[in-house]
């Protein structure tokens, strides 16, 4: 199973709480549930995987025409993931 980043779990919980979605304890519980779903969905990948935005933040862009390798629905949002072999460095 993919290692869960506890700092990211807490950051996501605070983000939900500040949006007024629920009490902090409920937001923290939901954030842990989301992290576990994501870790389970991505556990079989040996290659580095990120969303399109995640790769962009790391200085890469997804190659045109690449199909996602995995889609995960979290909080009603569809997250599409791409592997390292599907990206190339951004040119400025």
- Dihedral, CA atoms, 21, 74, 65, 62, nearest 10 degrees? 70
Mean pLDDT of the chain: 92
Q: Are 82 and 70 in contact (CB under 8 A)?
A: no
Instruction: Say whether pLDDT at 29 is over 80.
Output: yes
65 is written with which tokens?
A: 């025409």
pLDDT grade, residue 92 (50/70/90)? low
Instruction: Say whether pLDDT at 77 is over 80.
Output: yes
d(CA 42, CA 53): 17
State pLDDT tens for residues 46-57.
899 999 999 999
| Domain edges within the chain | 1-44, 45-92
Instruction: Say whether pLDDT at 80 is over 60.
Output: yes
d(CA 67, CA 86): 9
d(CA 79, CA 26): 22
């Amino acid at each position: 199973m993919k290692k869960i980043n506890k700092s990211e779990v807490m950051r996501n919980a605070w983000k939900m709480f500040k949006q007024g979605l629920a009490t902090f304890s409920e937001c923290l519980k939901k954030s842990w549930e989301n992290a576990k779903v994501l870790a389970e969905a991505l556990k079989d990948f040996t290659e580095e995987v990120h969303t399109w935005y995640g790769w962009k933040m790391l200085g890469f862009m997804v190659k045109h025409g690449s199909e996602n390798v995995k889609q995960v629905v979290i909080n009603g949002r569809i997250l599409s993931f791409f592997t390292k072999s599907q990206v190339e460095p951004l040119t400025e």
